[in-house]
Amino acid sequence: MPTKVAIVVGTKGRGSNMVALLSAMGRRPEVAVPYVVVAPSAESPALAVARTTGVRTTISGVDLRGALEGADYVCLAGYLRLVPPETVAAFPNRMLNIHPSLLPAHGGQGMYGLRVHQAVLDAGETVSGCTVHLVDEAYDRGEILLRRECPVLPDDTAETLAARVLTLEHEAYPTALFDLIEADAHH
């Protein structure tokens, strides 16, 4: 029986990581199927995108447990709120997040979107990338599952670096999810 994956999106993002996850599940439905897409607000652009795929959608406040009931794994995609400890505890080693830097650098509260890429540039980094990690009770601190790297180019802006990192995210997130599901299946 395939694993049921819930995707929790934010209020502002386009949902491109959600789309990458849904697409990957569409290619490997024997491993994982989309269970629900959860957003904190009906105004989330990602919700409209999810509805076009036929995936069930719902709105949830800060306590996500009710919305996630029945899911086997949870993927956060552009969700900027701190997940309550009770919700994290309900999905031990089964809640993932993706961050647009090579954690632990440039992570933590308030570090999202172009802020992250500007921080990478301001620090003079020559390499950036993305990190898929398990979610714990703090922002961007959980166990790292997978990282993908790209060079920081001399003429990069936060926007050009963000676009290059986003391409990595779309490959890394589904890969980390499927690797975790398959590893758990062998335990």
Count of C-beta atoms within a 10 Å radius of residue 108: 14
Global pTM value: 0.95
Q: Do residues 121 and 153 make contact, with C-beta atoms less than 8 angstroms apart?
A: no
Q: Exposed, middle or buried by CB within 10 Å (0-12, 13-18, 19+), for 113?
A: middle
Query: Looking at 43-57, 125-139, 143-157, which range is the least confident one?
Result: 43-57
Which residues are catalytically annotated?
99
> Strand 95-99 relative to strand 127-134: parallel, antiparallel, unpaired?
antiparallel
Annotated domain spans of the chain: 3-185
- Tell me the per-residue pLDDT of 63-108, one tens digit each, with 9 for 90 and over: 898 899 999 999 999 998 999 999 999 999 999 999 999 999 999 9
Q: Tens of pLDDT along 21-71? A: 999 999 999 999 999 999 988 888 899 899 999 999 999 887 898 899 999
- Residue 104: asked if its preceding bond is cis (omega within 30°), the reply is yes
CATH 3.40.50.170 fits 3-185, yes or no: yes
Rounded to whole angstroms, how far apart are CA atoms 57 and 6?
A: 10
Phi-psi region of 72 (alpha: psi -120 to 50; beta: other; left: phi over 0): alpha
